[in-house]
């Protein structure tokens, strides 16, 4: 088995900004030269997530953000705000709920994603951020 680790750097706008990383991840898997295995996609930080979604405007620009606003509203008196004078308690909770990583298997160097399933970075923070996403390919 072989392991390679690469980074993707992304500037986000925050506020549930959703960025499609599928092409970059597929390219990293292809460049690894590995035929079969799994790729781990992980974002560093406690106010962003990696997940999969159908990357279409309804979900990406509206539905996903509204869904999470119902679960962890922006405007709520979180203890986190009292502790740090922050306004991003909702971002921390949303990021914990959605999670920091996904694992996607690949065969013949191709990700086994559905046609309408994209790998995305979601930035929940309440400002623009520079994000580092680690892409670790494990396989043979
Ligand atoms: Zn915070």
Total structural domains within the chain:
1
CATH code (residue 96)? 2.60.120.460
Burial label, 80 (beta-carbon count in 10 A; 0-12, 13-18, 19+): middle
| Distance in Å, CA 115 to ligand 1 centroid | 36
Q: Are the C-beta atoms of residues 23 and 89 closer than 8 Å to each other? A: no
Long-range contacts for 113-117 (Cβ within 8 Å, ≥24 apart)?
113/22, 113/52, 116/54, 116/56, 117/52, 117/53, 117/54
75-105 confidence digits (pLDDT tens): 999 999 998 889 999 999 999 999 999 999 9
| Distance in Å, CA 11 to ligand 1 centroid | 18
111-125 confidence digits (pLDDT tens): 999 999 999 999 999
Q: Show the domain range for 98.
A: 2-139
| Distance in Å, CA 122 to ligand 1 centroid | 16
| Distance in Å, CA 33 to ligand 1 centroid | 39
SS3 14: coil
């Amino acid at each position: 088995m072989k392991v390679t680790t690469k980074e993707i750097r992304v500037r986000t706008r925050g506020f549930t900004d959703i960025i499609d990383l599928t092409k970059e991840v597929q390219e990293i898997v292809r460049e690894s030269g590995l035929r079969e295995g799994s790729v781990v996609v992980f974002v560093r930080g406690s106010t962003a997530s990696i997940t999969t979604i159908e990357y279409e405007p309804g979900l990406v620009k509206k539905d996903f953000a509204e869904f999470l606003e119902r679960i962890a509203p922006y405007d709520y008196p979180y203890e986190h705000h009292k502790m740090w004078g922050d306004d991003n308690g909702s971002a921390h909770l949303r990021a914990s709920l959605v999670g920091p990583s996904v694992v996607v298997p690949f065969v013949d160097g191709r990700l086994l994603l559905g046609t309408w399933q994209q790998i995305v970075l979601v930035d929940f923070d309440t400002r623009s951020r520079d994000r580092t996403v680690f892409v670790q390919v494990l396989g043979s």
